[in-house]
Chains A and B, each alone.
Chain A
């Protein structure tokens, strides 16, 4: 199969809808358009839309907007044609018409891949497109948009040029030993400083990923502490059964919500006490959920408050309405699921736990692959800082440069690129 073919995909969802868009990219995009569109402008002007009937086997089945983009001034750098007809069945029909006129169904991410190959996007931006499509909250959308806009690429670019200067210094030492007086002084320090900066960027992924993958927040505590009431209050609806009898919750109860722009899954668990049988298994499930959670909320009643058994858990002194005047235990939030008191403070505490303040949102690393490469670069730079043999410092710096280049895709092995573009679930 020749890879230089023309691809097509549904650019909008294929369910019933008022408008359905099909996008075509490749050398034959316009000749296909000419066959499908009853009206075809001559000369063709990029970016100017016109109305036309759409034909299948010579017969009109739908009508809509025809929007051509002339390569290289298009998303993919190739000739691109957008056909905006009706949604649902008409759109499926349009896609079939386009394919039988010579286009091939695009593989996931293939439009963006072509844009990358044409130098329209770097790899960070290409991955941002995938994230943009996958975003479930406004904040995630903003972060992906910032990445697509090039803020992260620019930062990585800065780090790359700094690294290039450092490498120049080291290579000068090795290649011009007689003429590089004093070039060795301060080298470890410079490597360490750069390692730290690259490392910080890699670290930002721990925040970035909170925007895109759902974080689990698990409620644990003694029986009858009011975890399920708190759970329902946080959701604003009655999801978990609540009863005054201790030990009502046995199984894990989960609910997905958006919390301060982050996709979050709250998990209610069985209360802790000596128990047997099904209840004991429920308690074990809860402990396990807590061990892998992004945040754990320890709920204990205000009138008999016990501190959390583990550091790092958010402590809630619950049912504070039932114990007025009671002093709130140090480090705990007083919350009343009944009156709503303290709920906002708890939500805020959770958001700042998941997304620590001070992280620049326009510079969040949102892709795991990018984070891994950045961490690898930081590691190589740290080893360079500690390495006494200059030729091995040079090796580590080269490894760091390779990792940074793979972040932006300026130098990448085909497997990596392929992996990146396979993350797309649609023919974007």
Chain B
């Protein structure tokens, strides 16, 4: 069997990698042990959330599948931080777990150019230092010009529940064996991470009368830019419920800590600080009297409920015991106990900017790179998929600039530092949070999507039309100046905008805190009928204008600096203050510009500063001796 691009695994990373490579016209063969495992949500049934919705919307603007599938299977849409500014709005969609996987399976199986093989990869085929394919369990080889490995949590995986330890990547599923050693043979260093999932509860055993009702947004807003508003939402909507842990819960957890594999030291892998197990929370945040628990339906008619916030690997009987101390869960029954999974991953500092292992033709994406989360995995899938597709036909690397996409921020951070724990996206990881909004991901990236061949031109056309609507409206709001005469002042007060002392444009009034576009739109002639998303973009551009200018100026200064050329004969060995690692890597890579140096893995900001200082000092400086 032969392919341009082979994709191993069809979780969130593998799917986007396979779809992207196929969209670029390559012949893609994807290997997955069981077709019903395509697009499974291993943990919570949610897509999006803070830092993550931005990633998914960027993926969507580049033609990815995740947002559209979430819209098609969503049963609860909520915008987090809705009361705050546009830069931190984050859409979160609870999906019907079965519908999500089914929709995704259809999408994958219908993609032209993508062939799916039900088998397991058991090893890499190497020839002269290059990876030229994978060995399959059923026998034979799949040979490919590029191989994308997306093993998720399955690489040499071990499951822990209380004192029980079994091999596997998810309950009832075999781990991927063999590949770990092939990766080591390529010279890669592997490390061990862990993650966990909460128990699943029988819905009928929960007394929702004792919990807080949390409805979805009305009307719900789609996650994808391309979802047709007619017929959305496709599925009936369901509420969530909220409850809290309490002192008794924490007491039960504390009493069982000696039986937790985490605290017994049987789990060597590092877990994510940001998605801690309940055991972790009780120990590390001992001062907190309670932690929130979100009871999320697993589907429209699903009998199971997902208690977000209660990830645990305590023995099942203790899980029942602590659950039953929580309001609404007094008589709860567990359908499947929570567990921790420990797996191999490859610290991504060993990869290059294409998410590849040197020039071997092997690309890695998703949790294998040490990340956590469906969204983080999916965007890496796209990145690695595009690069594998290009590599397969001898084209150069593809990337996005850090200042225009969280996806690029994620890749850059992942390559730059080995955080020692699963990597999760946060909006604070970008210096340009105010301009990287979920609301403008299409405006930021559609052109790049079109150029790369990822986004059809009709979708790109829709984005350009939107850009024109928004810029025309921004222009209109600046055109006239209102005088503080009596009738205008009365009108502004009655509109809730406040008083006017100096002449001002409607745009300047919109810049005031809490003033909305709908209030100022009618102050000058020709107000367009903008939908909510366009109006929010106009508001964001006006309200953040001063900050965006500052951000832009800083960015310009940085870009200018990144263009500085580095003399080819520069002797890194003697650069004062440079760490040995940075020195060796720079010596080997010999970047031509400061920007290129920044992209050398393992070169830290401090190393860059040292390099930059030497370049400023020695550009035309005097010499002696």
Contacts and interface: CB of A to CB of B under 8 A. Distances in A.
A105 B624 contact: yes
Interface stretch (B1-9, B516-524, B572-580): B572-580
A174 B81 contact: yes
B426 interface: yes
A114 B624 contact: no
Contacts of A102: 625
B617 interface: yes
Contact of A392 (B85, B292, B623): B85
Contact of B622 (A99, A107, A179, A411): A107
Contacts of A176: 50
Interface string B608-625: 011011111110011111
Interface residues of B, number: 49
Most buried by B among A26, A389, A390: A389
Interface string A167-186: 00001001111110100000
Contact of B576 (A8, A118, A171): A118
A346 interface: no
A418 B612 CA distance: 10
B488 to A, nearest CB: 25
Nearest to A180: B292
B428 A27 contact: no
A398 B557 CA distance: 18
B571 A2 contact: yes
Contact of A4 (B431, B433, B575): B575
B50 A175 contact: yes
B263 interface: no
Interface in A154-174: 171, 174
Interface in A364-393: 388-392
A417 B616 CA distance: 10
A47 interface: no
A344 interface: no
Contact of B292 (A117, A179, A417): A179
A418 B513 contact: no
A3 B576 CA distance: 9
Contact of B573 (A4, A104, A114, A118): A4
Most buried by B among A102, A181, A413: A413
A21 interface: no
Interface in B229-285: none
A27 B574 contact: yes
B614 A3 contact: yes
A286 interface: no
Given A178-B292, A414-B561, A390 B88 contact: yes
A260 to B, nearest CB: 39
B84 A104 contact: no
A175 B572 CA distance: 40
Contact of A175 (B428, B557, B609): B428
Contacts of A119: 577
A71 to B, nearest CB: 10
Contact of B577 (A2, A26, A114, A175): A114
A175 B621 contact: no
A2 B292 contact: no
Contacts of B576: 4, 76-78, 114, 117-118
B570 interface: yes
A411 B609 CA distance: 8
Interface string A83-119: 0000000000000000110111101000001101111
A418 B624 contact: no
A177 B50 contact: yes
B623 to A, nearest CB: 5
Interface string B475-512: 00000000000000000000000000000000000000
B513 A104 contact: no
Contacts of B610: 117
Given A102-B625, A391-B433, A415 B577 contact: no
A174 B614 contact: no
A2 B566 CA distance: 11
Interface string B67-94: 0000000000000110011011000000
A28 B621 CA distance: 21
B624 A175 contact: no
A412 interface: yes
A414 to B, nearest CB: 4
Given A2-B571, A174-B88, A99 B577 contact: no
A308 to B, nearest CB: 40
A104 B609 contact: no
B84 A391 contact: yes
A38 to B, nearest CB: 22
B605 A394 contact: no
A18 interface: no
A341 interface: no
A241 interface: no
A418 B622 contact: no
B433 A414 contact: no
A1 interface: yes
A5 B434 CA distance: 43
A2 B433 contact: no
A390 B89 CA distance: 12
Contact of A414 (B87, B513, B575, B609): B609
Contacts of B88: 174, 390-391
Contact of B294 (A77, A177, A178, A388): A178
B547 A392 contact: yes
B569 interface: yes
A138 interface: no
A117 B85 contact: no
A206 B309 CA distance: 53
B426 A171 contact: yes
Interface in B548-582: 557, 561, 569-577
A256 interface: no
B291 interface: yes
Interface in B579-625: 605, 609-610, 612-618, 621-625
A117 B613 contact: yes
Contacts of A177: 50, 80-81
A117 B547 contact: no
Most buried by B among A1, A103, A105: A1
Nearest to A118: B577
B427 interface: yes
A174 B50 contact: yes
Contacts of A1: 618, 621, 623
A175 B427 contact: yes
B575 A3 contact: yes
A8 B624 CA distance: 10
Contacts of B605: 411
Contacts of B431: 398
A105 B625 contact: yes
Interface string A406-425: 00000111110110000000
A372 B543 CA distance: 28
A174 B87 CA distance: 10
Contact of B51 (A113, A117, A175, A413): A175
A395 interface: yes
Interface in B292-316: 292, 294, 309
B624 A417 contact: no
B616 A415 contact: yes
Contacts of A171: 426, 428
Interface string A207-247: 00000000000000000000000000000000000000000
18 contacts: A1-B618, A2-B569, A3-B618, A26-B574, A76-B576, A107-B621, A107-B622, A113-B613, A114-B577, A171-B428, A175-B426, A175-B427, A177-B81, A178-B294, A181-B292, A391-B434, A395-B433, A413-B557
Q: Which 3 pairs across A and B sit closest by C-beta, in order of nearness?
A: A4-B574, A117-B577, A99-B625
Interface of B: 50-51, 80-81, 84-85, 87-88, 291-292, 294, 309, 426-428, 431, 433-434, 513-514, 543-544, 547, 557, 561, 569-577, 605, 609-610, 612-618, 621-625
Given A5-B574, A114-B576, 8 more contacts: A26-B574, A102-B625, A104-B625, A116-B577, A390-B88, A394-B428, A413-B609, A414-B616
